[in-house]
Amino acid sequence: MKKLEICLSPELVHLYDFNNKNIVIVDIFRASSTMIVALANGVTSITPFKNLGECREMSKKGYIIAGERNGLTAEGFELGNSPLAFLEKKYATKKIAMTTTNGTVAIQLAKGKAKNILLGAFPNLKATADFLSAMSEDVIILCAGWKGKFNLEDSLYAGALTKELKGNFKIECDTAIALESLYDTHSKDIKGFLSQASHTKRLQNQNIEADIDFCLSLNIYDLVGILRENEFFGEKN
Amino acid sequence: MKKLEICLSPELVHLYDFNNKNIVIVDIFRASSTMIVALANGVTSITPFKNLGECREMSKKGYIIAGERNGLTAEGFELGNSPLAFLEKKYATKKIAMTTTNGTVAIQLAKGKAKNILLGAFPNLKATADFLSAMSEDVIILCAGWKGKFNLEDSLYAGALTKELKGNFKIECDTAIALESLYDTHSKDIKGFLSQASHTKRLQNQNIEADIDFCLSLNIYDLVGILRENEFFGEKN
């Protein structure tokens, strides 16, 4: 039976074997959520970048450049990292270049080894679970975390995805056992539980409560976000 | 207000500042539990060693040598890592030299920086909480984990200790918020929950169910295990 594991931080990736596995990159607040919203709203593709300079260069090639540092729109960038900016198909048919604090670091770490790299987000949780269940490969959920540490929102998503996948995967990973239980306990009030978390507190300070609400919306889109070469595309199962 | 944080693995210690903090080393199955049982049963002191060779040498100096590798008594060692071996004051007044797979690695990482290094174990949970509450320093709970990864039993203890300390510490650490909740959910049936965990399964294979039960005994001893120079001693609050 295929296996499911969770890696809590990019700092722990050397302990996992990513070869030929399906990797789900999770950065709930807000990179992976924003990418899913953008793709669901007709964006052609999203190219992730680790550093600001490379991302900024893409502007010359006709890309819309989006990025944040420490939760704020990066200097000279058209967009920050708010999922709301992509609603109502505002950037449909555009190609986006995006850099973020934690999320793209995790993507870079998985590239070149994995079978597929997917974006994990609550708005398309079930679509991602269905995609993974239909394939034969093992799965590793890779949480972007916060500056290398465990974070609550990525962990809750990892628990939620574990719960969806449980019947189709062998789960011997302690992290997955713990996080599925944590999600189970708080699934009816994720936002209330997260209100204690450090990252949520930081976001609240920047008045982006609406972003948080949107990132926690469950199963409103039925596409997956998947990396093909260097770009994420939205694909229906 | 003093702060409480949890570090889930020795692989993440570089992300934490240990300076002048009280560090609680947690290796529930079984190094830290066994050390607490030994100290509570009259052992004079326990000296932790990272490698087998150094530990074995201590035998010539009159120490009882105890150690395991992959859950089995190390070759040529008098004792493995079972807490039961120390019951009924069988090694009272002896000095012990001990090496284990995960626990002593965590201890070495904290040495030289911390204000105090304590042993975390369920049998003296409340005594450790009382000690930490009475002091003014910040606390970091350092889980030994399993080969660098998160493990369930150390994490549940970290959650239990967080619950005890909550009123006296500021908790902004996502790991602590998550694990306190996880412990809360399972505190009435820790053993049942752990029966899913990978490490527990490994131990069960070696017929040491009785060790597990003993390691999960709550608050049967009222001393703390504390490092003075290179040796752990048992001290009453």
**Contacting residues for B72 by C-beta, under 8 A, at least 6 apart:** B80, B206
Q: Which domain holds residue B73?
A: 4-236
d(CA A161, CA A26): 11
Closest approach of chain A CAs to the CA of B189, in angstroms? Answer: 13
Q: What is the pLDDT of residues A191-227, one digit of tens each?
A: 999 988 776 666 655 657 889 999 999 999 999 999 9
Report residue A50 as tokens.
Answer: 């680790």
Instruction: Say if residue A32's pLDDT is above 90.
Output: yes
* Choice between B153 and A73, residue whose per-residue pLDDT is larger: B153
Q: What is the pLDDT of residues B146-164, one digit of tens each?
A: 889 999 999 999 999 999 9
d(CA A124, CA A218): 7
CB contact under 8 A, A12 and B9: yes
What is the DSSP secondary structure assignment for residue A143, as one 8-state letter? E
Q: Which residue do the tokens 């005594």 mark?
A: B127
What is the average per-residue pLDDT within B114-127? 97
What pLDDT score does B111 carry?
Answer: 85
Give which of B33, B38, B214, B45 is closest to B128, Cα–Cα.
B33
Which helix (DSSP H) or strand (DSSP E) does residue A66 occupy?
strand A64-69
Please list the residues that pair with A119 across neighbouring strands.
A25
d(CA A85, CA A106): 23
Lowest-confidence region among A33-47, A141-155, A187-201, B56-70: A187-201
d(CA A207, CA A98): 22
The answer to whether A141 contacts chain B (CB < 8 Å) is no
Report residue B17 as tokens.
Answer: 């500042």
Identity of residue B63:
Y
Which helix (DSSP H) or strand (DSSP E) does residue A186 occupy?
helix A174-186
Give which of B169, B168, B140, B145 is closest to B155, Cα–Cα.
B145
CB contact under 8 A, B182 and A178: yes
CB contact under 8 A, A185 and B185: yes
Q: What is the rounded average pLDDT for all residues in chain A?
A: 92
CB contact under 8 A, A151 and B173: no
Phi and psi angles of residue B118, each rounded to the nearest 5 degrees, phi first: -115, 160
Q: Which residue of B has its CA nearest to A153?
A: B174
Of A148, A181, A185, the CB nearest to B15: A148
CB contact under 8 A, B15 and A12: no
Q: Which residue do the tokens 């626990």 mark?
A: B103
Sign of the alpha-carbon torsion through B36, B178, A131, A230:
negative
Q: What is the pLDDT of residues B14-67, one digit of tens each?
A: 999 999 999 999 999 899 999 999 999 999 999 998 889 999 999 999 999 998
Domain tally, chain B:
1
CB atoms within 10 A of CB B88: 10
Cα dihedral B140→B141→B147→B149 (10° resolution): -90
Share of residues in chain B with pLDDT > 70 (%): 95
What pLDDT score does A19 carry?
Answer: 95
Taking each helix axis from N to C end, the angle separating B152-165 and B125-134, rounded to the nearest 10 degrees, works out to 50
The answer to whether B196 contacts chain A (CB < 8 Å) is yes
Of B148, B185, B199, the CB nearest to A12: B148
Give which of B237, B146, B125 is closest to B200, Cα–Cα.
B146
Radius of gyration of chain B (CA): 16
The answer to whether B146 contacts chain A (CB < 8 Å) is yes
Of B8, B182, B199, the CB nearest to A182: B182
Burial string for A113-143 (b: 16+ CB within 10 Å, else e) reads: ebebbbbbbbbbbbbbbebbeeeeebbbbbb
Please list the residues that pair with B98 across neighbouring strands.
B48, B66
Instruction: Say if residue B198's pLDDT is above 90.
Output: no
CATH code at position A161: 3.90.1560.10
Q: Which residue of B has its CA nearest to A7?
A: B149
SS3 call for A27: coil
CB contact under 8 A, A152 and B178: yes
Closest approach of chain A CAs to the CA of B197, in angstroms? Answer: 6
d(CA A62, CA A60): 5
Closest approach of chain B CAs to the CA of A234, in angstroms? Answer: 31
CB atoms within 10 A of CB B164: 17
d(CA A157, CA A124): 11
What is the DSSP secondary structure assignment for residue B196, as one 8-state letter? T
What pLDDT score does A108 carry?
Answer: 79
Q: Which of A102, A150, A199 is the mutation pick for testing B, counting most B CBs within 10 A?
A: A150
Q: Which residue of B has its CA nearest to A175?
A: B150
- Per the CB < 8 A criterion, the answer to whether B203 and B29 are in contact is yes
What is the average per-residue pLDDT within B86-100? 94
User: Which residues of chain A does B152 touch, with a Cβ-Cβ cutoff of 8 Å?
Assistant: 174, 177-178
What pLDDT score does B23 carry?
Answer: 97
